[in-house]
Amino acid sequence: MQIQFLDFQPHGDDRGQLIALEEGKEIPFPIRRVYYVYATTPEAVRGRHAHRSLRQVLVCVHGSCRVRLDDGRERCEVLLDSPRRGLEIDGLLWREIDHFSPDAVLMVLASELYDESDYIRDYQAFRALAEEAWKEKELGEKEFGEEERP
């Protein structure tokens, strides 16, 4: 699984630091929604879903949290612990977010407005959709003129 990190350039002086995030520059998609998660207990697990097509960038602007991703074939874990780095997540990736530090503030920038029909909340349904997507991708990667093999 290829993970896409986005590194943000801070601007600051003795008064403090500032990071600006603009669509088309630091954020590779139109920003239609921004939300943040805070006051989360360390044992809480957020997410536990995938999206059909929504793209997101997750930034832990304060504290830290762990993001676990599953693309239907591989799994990985990422620690978010800096406001200078974001994690880009495309559709059809199951995500679970946990191990929140007591001071964690997780900001999420999303490519679309909230749409319940884009959510996949059942893990087995996600696995079936992900496997179908993997098969379509593999078929599309065949070389021209290549024959089907039994």
DSSP the chain: ---EEEE---EEETTEEE----BTTTBSS---EEEEEES--TT--EEEEEESS--EEEEEEES-EEEEEE-SS-EEEEEE--TTEEEEE-SS-EEEEE---TT-EEEEEESS---GGGEE--HHHHHHHHHHHHHHHHHHTSPTTPPP--
Per-residue pLDDT of the chain (150 residues; tens, 9 = 90+): 788 999 999 999 999 999 999 999 999 999 999 999 999 998 999 999 999 999 999 999 999 999 999 999 999 999 999 999 999 999 999 999 999 999 999 999 999 999 999 999 999 999 999 999 988 888 876 655 566 555
Residue tagged active-site, from 49, 51, 62, 99: 49
CATH of 25-118, one of 3.40.1550.10, 3.40.50.970, 2.60.120.1440, 2.60.120.10: 2.60.120.10
Q: What are the residue boundaries of the structural domains of the chain, listed by start?
A: 25-118
pLDDT at 147: 61
pTM, to two decimals: 0.89
49 in active site: yes
